[in-house]
Structure 1
Amino acid sequence: MYKVVSVKATDDYKLIVTFDNGTAKEYDMKPKLNEWPFELLKNKAFFKAVKVDAGGYGVSWNSELDLGEYELWKNGKEIKLV
């Protein structure tokens, strides 16, 4: 599986994730915002505090709230970065 090298949160609750093979994907978090524990991400400041996990195995907001690289790769939409 490809590792995450960077992540950026957008104003409309999407993550722009770049993987170590150069592919960029957009992952829409809106469908998850009503699920526990992701409802905490409705706070935009908290949502924008996303970071890449050590080793690139996913992204996280704190020690309990994260998404793995497989989920981001499988369900993200491939995009071209400008």
Structure 2
Amino acid sequence: MARVLEVKACDGYRIWIRFDDGCVGEIDLSDLAGDGVFQAWCERQFFRQVHVARHGTVAWSDEIELCPDSLYMELTGKSPRQVFPGLDRLVSHA
């Protein structure tokens, strides 16, 4: 699985992200902004504090973290089966 190397806040509720496999781009997170814990993003200074957390998630605080796998799929347009080739094997044994 690709790991996040770098992330930066962009205009709006967009982030620029770079993965270790060379995949780079922007992701629009505006659909999350203002809901639940994501209300904190309404404070632009808080949104700009995005960083790669020690355990590899994209984070703003201990309460707001996004899964790098889902961000990778969003950025690349790949399906879970494309990102996790062994997924079919796991599902068939369940």
TM-score normalised by L of structure 2: 0.74
- 1:26 maps to 26
3-state SS of 1:12 partner: coil
CA contact (8 A) 2:3 2:68 kept: yes
SS at match of 1:71: helix
CA distance in 1, matches of 2:18, 2:28: 14
1:40 counterpart = 2:27:
no
Structure 1: state its 5+ residue gaps. none
Give 1:39 deviation, angstroms: 1.6
Higher Rg: 2
Asked if 1 retains the 8 angstrom alpha-carbon contact of 2:7 and 2:51, the reply is yes
SS of corresponding position for 2:17: strand
Flag the structure with higher strand content: 1
- Structure 1 stretches of 4+ moved >3 Å: none
Is the 8 Å Cα contact of residues 46 and 60 (structure 2) preserved in structure 1? yes
**Identity over aligned pairs, percent:** 29
Query: Corresponding residue for 2:83?
Result: none
Q: TM-score, normalised by structure 1?
A: 0.84
Q: Give the deviation of 1:35 after TM superposition.
A: 2.0
Once the two structures are superposed, the pairs formed by residues 1-82 of structure 1 within 5 Å of their partners are 1-55=1-55, 57-76=56-75
Greater RCO, CA 8 A, separation 6+: 1
* Paired residues of 2:34 and 2:40 also in contact (CA < 8 A): no
Note the aligned Cα RMSD (angstroms): 1.6
